[in-house]
Structure 1
Amino acid sequence: MSQAATNKDTLFTRFNKSIAGISLPAQFTYPFFYEPHPLCKLAAKQLQESLKSQTNWQHDFGIDHWVDGVNIGKMFGVLLVQNEAGEIGFLSAFSGKLADEHHLPGFVPPVVDYLAVDSYYRKGEKEIEEVNNQLCRLLESDDYLTAKSNWEQAKAQSEKELTHSKKIQKEAKQERKLKREKGKEQLSENDFLALDAALKAESMQMHYQSKDLVRKWKTELQEKEAELLHWDNQAKALKKKRKQMSNDLQQWIFDQYQFLNIDGKTRSVCDIFAETAFKIPPSGAGDCALPKLLQYAFKYKLKPLAMAEFWWGQSPKSEVRKHGYFYPSCKGKCEPILGHMLDGMEVARSPMLNVSTEDKKLETIYEDDYLLVLNKPHEFLSVPGKTNADSVLARMEKQLPNATGPLLVHRLDRATSGLLLVAKTKEVHKDLQDQFLARTIKKRYAALLEGNLAGDEGRIELPLRPDIEDRPRQLVCFEHGKPATTQWKVVERKNNRTLVHLWPMTGRTHQLRVHAAHLDGLNMPMVGDDLYGKPDSRLHLQAAELSFVHPVTKEEMTLALAPDF
């Protein structure tokens, strides 16, 4: 790492280049949507150079090559701070563990070092391991295996014999029936009565034999089961003990996570997450870079000024993470914690709260007595949001006061521009909705990608599901994701960017954005994609063409726009 101070702030790192002339930030960064401050960019660059040159530890980030099946990239954070002497510097951190360690030179420590040697956690872990070993020894013991085998064999043999007995009884019953029928036709009355009595006696004898067989196996199975239950109960007791010990140890870990804020107030992670939909802290809560950085700054009286987090190395298979790109803090794990840690500080407002939509115009591309096709501008909501009531729907309700039905047939993301269908009656709305459900409505999008795409056309099939710990981001997940398919074709390559046409065969959230950015998709984020790529003046994604059958005239209609970027 770079030259560090010699006082108690041993991790306070000075810039190795002059920062004269660069103004300090007026407010602390809003962590969930930001453009890094110039000083944070300098700090990140300095840290990145250190990552390339340091020799204190070894970790293969997979930057120039692919390492299959391993998530080896890492999120790093820098925190611009001012020490008590008025000097400006920065702190560095990584999320989770790096090189299999929580502690590495030059990086702030974890909020809780529960893996420290001789810690309560280590002792508890050993105790749980011993219980687990006891359980393994029991389940592998000759006594347990013999009892289990005896019960399984007895059960299998009882089922075999009882099934055979039922078959014999059924055949004998059928044979007695035939004998009675022949006896009625061929025997005298006295002889038939004698035959019927003999057949009834045979039936009763077989019935009692069957009862005896059932009774015999019931007794034997109970004995075998009791022998097995003796060992099973011991195994259940050990499993219950192991689970309770694990829960107690996890609760102990949670209790250790006490987060500071600038006023010196602390809150536990359990207390913080009790107010969320999670109720209990998700795995890894508090181990991300920014909470670690703020905790260290507050502890050592360093004033936080700004932050930035960046990804370094190979992307995980499920997420979209690009080497060297800056990313916002995660919503699920970090937002509740940072809500407490940033309390009392002057933090920039979310840019989403400052967006004005007064200048946004809704252009009508087509209109008749039954429907409209609009051109929605980018950064404009289809329906009212939590903090902004202005939207396509709100304006249509004013423009079409006599319309019936829900009006909007479909939606576009706030950041996406392009064609939107509006129905003036509920009947027309239902017809168009049915066309969407039947997938007969065709949509084509235009998107501008970062870089020169190698191929000319193709098909992407990557199943998607929500990232429950970082909404609204989506993950590629072959186990739990819903199928998502996109056709694509290159239109133009220019200035190290590629204009493509995209046809979504399915309609998953952020489908086109993830399929463009993911390493198993086009591996090129859309220009201006602040979730999966880099922020820009706007997201360069447009719903450019729409084809449908008019619900009333039955005419096949196709409406198209030229790219608006």
Structure 2
Amino acid sequence: MILPPHFIPFPTQIDSNDLPKKFTFPFYYEPHALSVIAAKELQNYLETQTNFQHNFGLDKNQDGLVIGKMFGVLVCQNESKKLGYLWAFSGKLAENNHHDYFVPPVFDMLQHDGFFKREEEVLNAINRKIEVLEKTPKYIVTKKKVIATKEKALEDISNQKERIKRLKTLRDERRIEGEKNLDFENFKILQKELSNESKEESILLKKMTKYWNYQTENIENELAKFTSKINSLKELRKQKSGELQQQLFDSYSFFNQAKELKSVGEIFNNNPPAGAGECAAPKLLHYAFHHNLRPISMAEFWWGQSPKSEVRKHKQFYPACRSKCEPILAHMLKDIPLEDNPFLENPAEGKDISVVFEDDFLAVINKPAEFLSVPGKNVSDSVYQRVKDLYPSATGPLIVHRLDMSTSGLLLIAKSEDIYKDLQSQFIKRTIKKRYVAILENIVSNDEGFIDLPLRVDLDNRPNQLVCYEHGKQARTEYKVIERKDGKTRIHFFPISGRTHQLRVHASHSLGLNSPIVGDDLYGTKANRLHLHAEEITFNHPILKERMTIIANAEF
């Protein structure tokens, strides 16, 4: 049997017993051993290839814009049960959609004789016509005349209105003076005179308004000779652009294993996010289904320098993005048995919270790692639920602050609404002090310091956070190194603000400590647990008015 192009057989025979029973759950996974082999083959190729030039930011002497890239591998079987793998990259690579050994895009917008390039040239031609018209000297002069005429009209009419008001005041003064000093007949003559003056000024205002309306209408008619052509072209451009967009939506159509095609327009109700369908995972699966290949396992990894906003580590495996890929993959993986979705599992099962301190007013509990602070979208078991069961007579929100699910440590619990408000006020005023302990993957050279990197949510990949100086919220962390041992760093974090994933991003980001927390499955490498623990909290007791410090040592 002829193998499909881009299908790369494994160099050695693979025992069928080594194949996974279910396909990779793409949004949270440990890469299967076969995916790791395929990924290493791809990484070896990237390190030695000479087929294209792309600056991944790994060679300081290389010219060009630095763009790291997500790559994907799909282990699959052909109809003869031969095992191999496919390679793909997200978006385009070295300004091209096609490269040897990599599967092609679902749709190639860069194809020179394709409809997109043809229609793009039609739109560009319309843009050029609009540009020529908008740069015509007579159009520019006429446009300026319209503005100048309207400004002059407004000025003259405003001046006349002010004149009318001023003269009215003077007439009122003359009328009052005349009433005092003139006899009846002369006062009547004065009133008629004042009335005539008022009418004359009003008539002048009407004539002036009529004159300027005429002048404005004339010059606007001159301008309309140009704007009607420009607006017609813009309307044509809008129509052509909409038709092209719809054609694009229809062209990005994805197979599933039943060979059912579904377009990106159908999947996203004709409102797909930018770049939908250009990630590695949809490319790989579409090619596999199109060539009757059965998917076995999949993995994606980052190659190159991390973007300034995100945390991406060279050669690190990452899940598929959710906003762009999840709706597409829901169609493509239809009826394929997947590994268990960990987001549907209860991570707190078999775990208990321990009470470190309590009185009649509040409690401090020690939350285990992988335990929700509050109920989640799919799992209700949480610190909130456990505390509610533990203190059935307590009122109010109970949970004063939160910890990430993966972070262990101390949480303040309020047993009444008043205590909750008091402790919340202390958080807002930043009089509550917290200390975290963590182990970082690498050696941190500075003994202490501050990290100031504003954060916002990654809209394409929730709940991950991005460093964003434009829209991010201020996030500041103080740190102090405790110990350096075996290539790792034990460190204390003192968060000044309390943003989501603040310590995790500040540790891992290249502008922070550039060293992920051990076990960080979002910003580093997964391990037995996230080595981050909230070990100390200091607050003012709302009733006793004493400064209290509670400590719970980390298990690591």
The structural deviation recorded for 1:354 is 4.8
Q: Provide closer, same or farther for how the CA distance between residues 61 and 34 of structure 1 changes in structure 2, counting only shifts above 3 A.
A: same
Match of 1:478 in 2: 469
Report if aligned partners of 1:75, 1:95 keep a CA contact under 8 Å in 2: yes
Q: Provide closer, same or farther for how the CA distance between residues 448 and 236 of structure 1 changes in structure 2, counting only shifts above 3 A.
A: farther
The structural deviation recorded for 1:269 is 2.1
Matched, 1:491 2:500: no
1:379 to 365, 370, 379: 370
1:67, 1:391 → 2: CA distance?
A: 51
Letter in 2 for 1:539: L
1:148 to 143, 147, 154: 143
Report if aligned partners of 1:550, 1:557 keep a CA contact under 8 Å in 2: yes
1:230, 1:473 → 2: CA distance?
A: 53
2:497 to 506, 517, 541: 506
The structural deviation recorded for 1:333 is 0.9
Letter in 1 for 2:402: R
The structural deviation recorded for 1:97 is 0.3
Match of 2:72 in 1: 77
Deviations 1:302-331 (A, max 9, x none): 222111111111111221111111100111
Report if aligned partners of 1:22, 1:39 keep a CA contact under 8 Å in 2: no
Equivalences for 1:165-564 in 2 at 5 Å? Answer: 165-180=160-175, 194-274=189-269, 280-354=271-345, 357-564=348-555
1:533, 1:68 → 2: CA distance?
A: 29
The structural deviation recorded for 1:185 is 6.4
Q: Provide closer, same or farther for how the CA distance between residues 232 and 295 of structure 1 changes in structure 2, counting only shifts above 3 A.
A: same
2:502, 2:493 → 1: CA distance?
A: 11
Match of 1:3 in 2: none
Q: CA RMSD in A?
A: 2.6
2:456, 2:355 → 1: CA distance?
A: 34
Letter in 2 for 1:456: D
Letter in 1 for 2:531: H
1:115, 1:429 → 2: CA distance?
A: 59
The structural deviation recorded for 1:100 is 0.4
Q: Provide closer, same or farther for how the CA distance between residues 222 and 487 of structure 1 changes in structure 2, counting only shifts above 3 A.
A: farther
The structural deviation recorded for 1:233 is 3.2
Letter in 2 for 1:290: A
Deviations 1:20-45 (A, max 9, x none): 79923232211111111222222212
Q: Provide closer, same or farther for how the CA distance between residues 67 and 372 of structure 1 changes in structure 2, counting only shifts above 3 A.
A: farther
The structural deviation recorded for 1:288 is 0.6
After superposing the two structures, state which structure 1 stretch, 303-312 or 21-30, moved more: 21-30
Report if aligned partners of 1:542, 1:563 keep a CA contact under 8 Å in 2: yes
Report if aligned partners of 2:305, 2:313 keep a CA contact under 8 Å in 1: yes
Deviations 1:117-152 (A, max 9, x none): 211111111111111112112211234223211101
Letter in 2 for 1:562: N
Report if aligned partners of 2:347, 2:371 keep a CA contact under 8 Å in 1: no
The structural deviation recorded for 1:382 is 1.3
The structural deviation recorded for 1:83 is 2.8
Deviations 1:48-89 (A, max 9, x none): 121121111111111143999956000001111223343322
Letter in 2 for 1:436: F
TM-score normalized by structure 2? 0.93
1:332, 1:68 → 2: CA distance?
A: 33
Letter in 2 for 1:437: I
TM-score normalized by structure 1? 0.91
Report if aligned partners of 1:71, 1:315 keep a CA contact under 8 Å in 2: no
The structural deviation recorded for 1:195 is 4.9
Q: Provide closer, same or farther for how the CA distance between residues 299 and 400 of structure 1 changes in structure 2, counting only shifts above 3 A.
A: same
1:10 to 5, 22, 46: 5
Partner-residue secondary structure (3-state), 1:161: helix
After superposing the two structures, state which structure 1 stretch, 195-204 or 185-194, moved more: 185-194
After superposing the two structures, state which structure 1 stretch, 532-541 or 423-432, moved more: 423-432
After superposing the two structures, state which structure 1 stretch, 431-440 or 252-261, moved more: 431-440
Deviations 1:420-461 (A, max 9, x none): 111112221222223223333222322222211232333333
The structural deviation recorded for 1:509 is 1.9
Q: Provide closer, same or farther for how the CA distance between residues 167 and 102 of structure 1 changes in structure 2, counting only shifts above 3 A.
A: same
Partner-residue secondary structure (3-state), 2:8: coil
After superposing the two structures, state which structure 1 stretch, 387-396 or 196-205, moved more: 196-205
Q: Provide closer, same or farther for how the CA distance between residues 208 and 105 of structure 1 changes in structure 2, counting only shifts above 3 A.
A: same
Structure 2 segments unaligned to the other structure (5+ residues): none
After superposing the two structures, state which structure 1 stretch, 412-421 or 381-390, moved more: 381-390
2:177, 2:539 → 1: CA distance?
A: 76
* Length, aligned pairs only: 556
Q: Provide closer, same or farther for how the CA distance between residues 349 and 454 of structure 1 changes in structure 2, counting only shifts above 3 A.
A: same
Letter in 2 for 1:14: P
1:113, 1:214 → 2: CA distance?
A: 60
Q: Provide closer, same or farther for how the CA distance between residues 389 and 170 of structure 1 changes in structure 2, counting only shifts above 3 A.
A: closer
Deviations 1:517-542 (A, max 9, x none): 22222222211111111111111222
Matched, 1:109 2:97: no
Letter in 2 for 1:340: H
Partner-residue secondary structure (3-state), 1:166: helix
Report if aligned partners of 1:71, 1:317 keep a CA contact under 8 Å in 2: no
Report if aligned partners of 1:260, 1:267 keep a CA contact under 8 Å in 2: yes
Equivalences for 1:18-29 in 2 at 5 Å? Answer: 23-29=18-24
After superposing the two structures, state which structure 1 stretch, 481-490 or 146-155, moved more: 481-490
Aligned sequence identity (%): 49
